C-alpha cells in the first residue's frame, strides 16, 4: 500500500488505546491496542500518544472518540490526559481529525446511543464481520467505519446518517 492512498483510522484513547486502520476498500490493515511500559505520568501518556502518531500516514482520515464527560472515578483524569495528548500530537504533526461522541459511536454500530459496551459485540460482528476481545479496539473499528463513511455514505442506515450529520457538521 502506498502512503499516498487514503486510509480510515479510528482511535479510542485510553491506557490501552484502541486503533484500527482500514484500507480504502474497508479491509482491516491494523487492529490493536497501544500500551506502554512507562509507569509514571506524564511519560506514560506521552508514550501512548507517540505510538499512536507512529501508526498514521499523512492522507489518513481520522476519527477519535470524544470524552465521556459523565464518567467518574480516579481514572478519569488519566483518560483526559491521554486524550488531550493524542489530540495535541495529531495537531502538532499536521493531522486533522473528527471528534465522535461515545454515544454516537454506539449509535452508529447499534442504532442506540446508550448501548452497553458488551452489547456492541454482536451488532459489530453482524454488520461488518469484525470481532476483537478488546472493547477499545471494537470502538476504534466503529470509529474507522465512521471515518470511511465521511467519504462514502452509500448504504448507510438512517440512524448512521444521523451520526454522520453531527460528525461532519
pLDDT tens for each residue of 66-85: 998 766 666 778 889 999 99
Distance of CA 66 to the CA centre of its chain: 9
- Work out how many domains the chain is built from and give that number: 1
- Convert the pLDDT of each residue in 38-63 to its tens digit: 999 999 999 999 999 999 999 999 99
Report which DSSP code applies to 37: S
Show the domain range for 49: 8-167
Residue 3 covered by a domain? no
CATH number at residue 48: 3.30.420.10
- CB contact set of 71 (below 8 Å; sequence gap of 6+): 79
- What is the Cα–Cα distance from 33 to 14, expressed in whole angstroms? 9
Residue 14 lies in a domain: yes
User: Crossing angle for the helix pair 135-151 and 121-128, nearest 10 degrees?
Assistant: 40
Residue 2 lies in a domain: no
pTM: 0.96
Residue 1, domain member (yes or no): no
Amino acid at each position: 500500500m502506498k502512503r499516498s492512498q487514503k486510509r480510515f483510522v479510528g482511535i479510542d484513547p485510553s491506557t490501552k488505546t484502541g486503533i484500527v486502520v482500514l484500507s480504502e476498500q474497508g479491509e482491516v490493515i491494523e487492529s490493536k491496542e497501544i500500551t506502554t511500559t512507562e509507569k509514571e505520568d506524564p511519560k506514560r501518556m506521552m508514550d501512548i500518544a507517540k505510538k499512536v502518531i507512529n501508526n498514521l500516514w499523512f492522507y489518513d482520515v481520522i476519527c477519535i472518540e470524544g470524552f465521556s464527560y459523565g464518567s467518574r472515578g480516579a481514572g478519569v483524569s488519566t483518560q483526559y490526559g491521554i486524550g488531550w495528548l493524542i489530540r495535541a500530537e495529531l495537531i502538532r504533526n499536521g493531522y486533522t481529525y473528527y471528534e465522535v461522541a461515545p454515544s454516537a459511536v454506539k449509535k452508529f454500530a447499534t442504532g442506540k446511543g446508550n448501548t452497553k459496551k458488551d452489547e456492541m459485540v454482536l451488532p459489530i460482528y453482524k454488520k461488518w464481520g469484525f470481532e476483537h476481545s478488546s472493547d477499545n479496539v471494537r470502538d476504534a473499528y466503529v470509529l474507522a467505519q465512521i471515518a470511511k463513511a465521511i467519504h462514502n455514505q452509500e448504504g448507510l442506515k438512517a440512524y448512521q446518517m444521523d451520526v454522520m450529520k453531527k460528525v461532519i457538521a
